[in-house]
Amino acid sequence: MYLGISPGISLVAQSVLASGEWYKLAVTQTGIHKIDAAMLRQMGVAPATIDPAQIRVFGTGGAMLPQSNQAPVAGLTESAILVQGEEDGRFDNSDVIYFYAEGPHVISYDSAKAELRHQINYYSDTSYYFLNFGQKAGLRIRNENPVVASGKVINFFDDYWYHEQDASNLLKSGREWWGEYLSSAPLTVEAELPGVLPASEIKFRSSAIAAGQVNTRFVWQLNGETAGETAVGTVGAGTYDVKALRSDYTTALTAPSNPSSVFRLSVTHNKNGQAAAQGYLNYFALQVKRQLRFDEKQQIYYLLPQSTDIATYQFTDPSAEWNLWNVSNAARPASVSNQNTSGPFTFTRKDGRKPARYIGFRGDQAFAPVSWKPVASQDIASAETPDLLIITPAAWESEAKRLAAFRSSRNNLKTLVVTTRQVYHEFAGGRPDVTAIRNYVRHLYSKSPGKLRYLLLFGDASFDYKNLTKSQTPSQNANWVPVYESRESLNPVYTYSSDDYFGFMEPNEGEWSEQAAGDHTLEIGVGRLPVKSLAEAKVVVDKLIRYEALSSEGSWKNIVRFIADDGDGNIHQRHADQLASLIENDFSSKRIFIDQYPQTTTPEGQKAPEVNRQIRNAIDNGTLIINYTGHGGVGGWAEEQVLTLSDMLSARGMNNLPLLFTATCDFGRYDDPGTVSGAETMVLSPKGAAIGAISTTRPVFSSTNFTLSKAFYEALITKGEGRLMGDLIRETKNKALVGSLNRNFTLLGDPSMRLGSGQKGIRWLQAPETLRALQKVSLTGEVFSNVNSQRDTQFNGKARVVIYDKQVQFETLGNEGNPESYSEFRSRLFDGVVTVKDGVFTCQFVMPKDIDYRAGPGRANVYAVRNDSTADASAQLTLTVGGSAALLVDNTPPEISAYMDKPAFRSGDRVDTSPVLIAHIEDDNGVSLSATGIGHDITLTLNDTLTIVLNEYFTADLDNYRAGTIRYPFDNLPAGEYNVRLKMWDTYTNFSESSFGFQVVKPGGIRLNAAKVFPNPFINDLSFELNHDRANEDVELILNILLVNGQRLGTFKWSYYNSEANIKETLSAQQLGSGVPYHVPLVYQLLIRSLKDSTFDQKSGKLIRSQ
């Protein structure tokens, strides 16, 4: 049942699969197929129970779905079939179902060129049809009405043969694959084509690719005679040079006077002396004219347009058991009768000017389906249009539904989860096809235009749609959520993969030609979580829920860090600087330019270790976005290796996960199963690392990178509540259209996620006066709605306020170019937390003496969160800094109380390898954080050799600028004795020092403080709870169940990253399985192991399973 709509789509009101008994039949070749009683029994169907009149077969043909949105979209269509023996109302042992089925690779007539062509299916080597019983009477083959008139007698038909193997994809990108490798020796294939008309025209078509640094040639032959030659130019050897050139050849030849039934087609690659030149066959094809006759196997007859409407066709070799069907309409075949009762089989067409397709066969020549499986009822077509659609493999559908439930409750989004298999069944006849997904998305969108806003593809993808490389297991291949691959498959710069295709909803879109004229706009936001297993799916859903459900007072959500590569005329630095400047009125921009820091020479090349450290700190301590601009690849950033695989695997920050935005080559590639890209590694990391990534899947240009980056940050700073990641990526893509060059930027993340930036705005309640040195300042601000600009009087919580002096200029070193100067707010004047009540807050502090006394614009970076964590607010507020206030007398230095890890620490105590320095400071006029005064930073000196500036680690206490705390974490200190000297200054430049010693020792083994297994005895589910002493570390937990003689019955493992001290798990009866017996004495062994130092502890006890 269908509902009409605007051009290009029909809305399926209800799927035919909604009810009834269904079986999915697989076919691999075009022709007549049969199902007999024996096959029905194999399927578990008793033939005697079937009403043969109610046997039905449905399908959609075998061809790939057309990309254009103008093409009609339909669900499964019933095919007319022949049920031999159904007249008696029973399905007997001798009864047979015959139906015409199209294989996945099709031959069609090109009316513009008046020739036959073939098309390999990129997505599947199998087509499917659906068998149904017992619902209503099915369609049956009709007899074609005979044409009484007669016309010119034609005794031949056109046939088409091709040879095309998909074996190699040189770029692991694009949808085109290539066949046999061509050495210098000829490659020959044979085509069996009996009955070719003597002296008739033969169309010879061939295609191949070649790659060489000299000109090469292909020599094409038919039956030992040269059919023609094609010259191929040269390609470069560079990484981004085209990898091969394609050479297509078509010619018309004449059949010999006595044609053989076997034709030999050959190609020789003349490499012109370069042995390393590469060549691959694409295909051979022949179109010939053959005698109309009956064969010993099924035969498809292509009847090409004639010059008259009436055309009569005559066969030789009549056969009484032979059938002829008109399959021009594949779903409505018609049986053709012999109009010549006393001679050769003859029939007449009245539409001879049109092409037609017929098939001749005997019943014993029919093919059997290659496989079958039962299909559960489904009806995703009738679903209501959601706000968020999640498409997932069935293997982790449960996690997709868990995320959908969270979005429904947390974000008030109407959600829908469907599986790829369900989409293929209803919108592609069971075949995998990327356009089936697009058509289903558009089907929902068209029901209620504007309602569907977000599409999440919940699974990984592969450029190898059909597992031609045999690198995937069948289950892995079934769990991909496919990505659109470009037509371009040889040029590494212009090839791409993209999920944008699934967001093209307008009627004139979909074909997506690969130049600027083919640019389409997204109507919905599309993202992908590239998970490959149920465990990975659970990890990312846990991270997404934690990201939005977590209470956080940190102003990290206001910070965007821009990391830039050096070299290339400083273009990467300049682009990063422009982006940082673009958003600095809305976010706190932090620049980390590689050329700002000294580099060291190592056996692996140049390194900039300080940049690696700053990136690690940014992730661990929190930042809204980490933006990288520059050179890179699948596994890292920059020649200096500022982000390596080791960095990615060790990254944490689970409570403050950044979004990655990387304008570099290939870092986000997710469609190569043999490689896990850096973006995938970080997004899927169970330790934290990243909440998502906007990254590239192929090589990119810096100029177009900047176009897209600028569009993203313009979308980011556009105000409005309720804007989610999908809205940002949609606006970004639509404002950065440059042909195929930016199509490979993708969102590896949830489009329904709200990026952590503040939902509400903050402004000064009264414009501040100029902030002067040593002045006691009182600043008052309010939280307001970005929708109506009214104060939010229901907002009660806390705000982090960081005040900056005027921008500080810094200069790069010119390691790979000229030094350049940039400016940024870097000198802090105050950092503290204040109370927000009824939407209003007041921040008081004393300005430090060390400021830049010239009057100019400073900055207040403010982030506020409600007490219940349901709303937050942020702003970058302008204020003026300069001059000095009346000088008061303060000669009292700050008081310092410092220790390691806990207040009970005493100088000389032992600590583990990653202790935390904690210092409480009090001063009547507050602590100075300014970087303006020379030598007046807060410093930590370790063993009189290493000095660390701690200005950014100090935060004033709640509503009390006179006191505050420093928390500085050490990381993996070597064992040994250490001395610490902590020095700080108050706002009046009085200083204090505190020093003490400590001893770093390797920690003792992990300990289980408590462990309980319950219930005991248990029947079905078994639970345990434990407490350990390594909170926030990575641990592995192993539960063994054994017989008392030590025989192991089951082992269950869990890994926890950033582990809580208390852990609880439950094993279901299904997980325990049948291997754990009842009423037998058992022993459990609960073992916990530290993944940091491999120490372990365990508990054991008796256990019994009862009924």
Whether residue 782 contacts residue 799, with contact meaning beta carbons closer than 8 Å, is answered with no
pLDDT-derived band at 3 (thresholds 50, 70, 90) equals: very low
pLDDT-derived band at 187 (thresholds 50, 70, 90) equals: very high
- Residue 97 predicted with pLDDT over 60: yes
Average pLDDT of span 987-1010: 94
pLDDT-derived band at 4 (thresholds 50, 70, 90) equals: very low
In the chain, % of residues over pLDDT 70: 98
Longest pairwise C-alpha distance within the chain = 127
Phi, psi of 638 (to 5 degrees): 70, 155
Summarize pLDDT for 432-474 with one digit per residue, the tens.
999 999 999 999 999 999 999 999 999 999 999 999 999 999 9
Summarize pLDDT for 864-897 with one digit per residue, the tens.
999 988 889 999 999 999 999 988 899 999 999 9
pLDDT-derived band at 22 (thresholds 50, 70, 90) equals: very high
Radius of gyration of the chain (CA): 36
Report the CATH number at residue 458.
Answer: 3.40.50.10390
Residue 626 maps to a domain = yes
Helix (H) or strand (E) holding 726: helix 725-734
Say whether 650 sits in a helix, a strand or coil.
Answer: helix
pLDDT-derived band at 556 (thresholds 50, 70, 90) equals: very high
In a shared domain, residues 847 and 861:
yes
Residue 66, both tokens:
């057309």
- Residue 1079 predicted with pLDDT over 60: yes
- The number of distinct structural domains making up the chain is 7
Strands 1008-1014 and 388-392: unpaired
In a shared domain, residues 742 and 764:
no
Average pLDDT of span 831-852: 97
- Residue 413 predicted with pLDDT over 90: yes
In a shared domain, residues 263 and 303:
no
Which pLDDT does position 722 carry in this prediction?
Answer: 81
Summarize pLDDT for 505-543 with one digit per residue, the tens.
999 999 999 988 889 999 999 999 999 999 999 999 999
Kindly list the distances between the CA atom of residue 443 and the CA atoms of 2, 183, 389, 582, 666, in Å, as whole numbers in the listed order. Answer: 11, 49, 12, 39, 33
Least-confidence region, from 50-54, 135-139, 740-744, 990-994? 740-744
* Residue among 1091, 1101, 974, 986 at smallest CA distance from 1036: 1091
Helix/strand/coil (H/E/C) assignment for every residue in 581-636: HHHCCCCEEEEEEHHHCCCEEECCEEECHHHHHHHHHHHHHCCCEEEEECCEECCE
Residue 448 maps to a domain = yes
Peptide bond into 1017 cis (omega under 30): yes
In a shared domain, residues 392 and 501:
yes
The per-residue pLDDT of the chain, averaged, comes to 94
Residue 14 maps to a domain = no
Residue 433 maps to a domain = yes
Q: Which of 838, 853, 884 is the last residue of a domain?
A: 884
Which pLDDT does position 2 carry in this prediction?
Answer: 31
In a shared domain, residues 161 and 234:
yes
pLDDT-derived band at 320 (thresholds 50, 70, 90) equals: confident
Q: What's the one-letter identity of residue 1032?
A: N
Report the CATH number at residue 689.
Answer: 3.40.50.1460
Residue 676 maps to a domain = yes
Whether residue 75 contacts residue 16, with contact meaning beta carbons closer than 8 Å, is answered with yes
- Residue 724 predicted with pLDDT over 70: yes
In a shared domain, residues 577 and 723:
yes
Summarize pLDDT for 584-607 with one digit per residue, the tens.
999 999 999 999 999 999 988 899
Average pLDDT of span 725-737: 96
Could you tell me the residue range of the domain that residue 67 belongs to?
Answer: 20-153+295-375
If one compares 341 and 1014, the residue with the highest pLDDT of the two is 1014
Residue 86 maps to a domain = yes
In a shared domain, residues 579 and 708:
yes
Q: Which of 267, 291, 315 is the last residue of a domain?
A: 291
Average pLDDT of span 1035-1056: 93
Phi, psi of 491 (to 5 degrees): -100, 115
In a shared domain, residues 670 and 571:
yes
pLDDT-derived band at 1 (thresholds 50, 70, 90) equals: very low
In a shared domain, residues 648 and 684:
yes
Alpha-carbon span 200 to 559, nearest angstrom: 75
Q: What's the one-letter identity of residue 486?
A: S
In a shared domain, residues 965 and 1016:
no
Summarize pLDDT for 222-243 with one digit per residue, the tens.
999 999 999 999 999 999 999 9
Say whether 534 sits in a helix, a strand or coil.
Answer: helix
In a shared domain, residues 286 and 431:
no
Which pLDDT does position 551 carry in this prediction?
Answer: 56
Alpha-carbon span 16 to 90, nearest angstrom: 25
pLDDT-derived band at 756 (thresholds 50, 70, 90) equals: confident
In a shared domain, residues 687 and 832:
no
Residue 890 maps to a domain = no
Least-confidence region, from 95-104, 726-735, 874-883, 1045-1054? 1045-1054
Alpha-carbon span 815 to 804, nearest angstrom: 30
Kindly list the distances between the CA atom of residue 596 and the CA atoms of 367, 621, 807, in Å, as whole numbers in the listed order. Answer: 71, 22, 17
If one compares 912 and 10, the residue with the highest pLDDT of the two is 912
Report the CATH number at residue 1078.
Answer: 2.60.40.10
- Residue 497 predicted with pLDDT over 90: yes
Residue 7 maps to a domain = no
Report the CATH number at residue 936.
Answer: 2.60.40.650
Which residues is 211 bridged to in the sheet?
278
Is 766 buried (19+), middle (13-18) or exposed (0-12) by CB count in 10 A? exposed
Q: Which of 840, 860, 884 is the last residue of a domain?
A: 884
- Residue 6 predicted with pLDDT over 50: no
